Amino acid sequence: MHFFAVVLFFGFGVMALTMLGEHLYHRLREMRALVAGALGVALAWLADVNMWTGWGITNLRYDWVGVTVTGLAIGGAALVSYALVGFFTGLHRKIDDEAERIERTELRRVA
């Protein structure tokens, strides 16, 4: 369970870095999955995190495969958390009814 939490929190960090990169360079939106996967693999290699050995799966032939797949799982967790954040942001806008508020305030000033 400890390694699942590590992968999840590393995924939040990769999500934040990806969102920061998208804010600075707008072309990264098109490559969000590639950037998140690459950052996840780089972070897993830098931290030397292998969730497979943490879960007791020691029958991997090479250790680098476990670290790389852990990095891909971190990138996948970043993409899932990005989608969840986007869902709740959109839900807030629907509840607040932002379009109606814009119509009431800003369109009257234009007309």
Query: Mean pLDDT over all residues of the chain?
Result: 85
- Report residue 93 as tokens: 């806008």
Largest separation between any pair of C-alpha atoms in the chain: 70
List pLDDT tens digits, range 96-110: 676 677 777 766 555
Comparing CA positions, the residue from 4, 2, 13, 1 lying closest to residue 40 is 13
Q: How many domains does the chain have?
A: 1
Give the chain's count of helices (H) and strands (E).
5, 0
CB 72 within 8 A of CB 64: no
List pLDDT tens digits, range 58-71: 787 888 888 999 99
Structural domain of residue 66, as residue ranges?
2-110
CB 62 within 8 A of CB 18: no
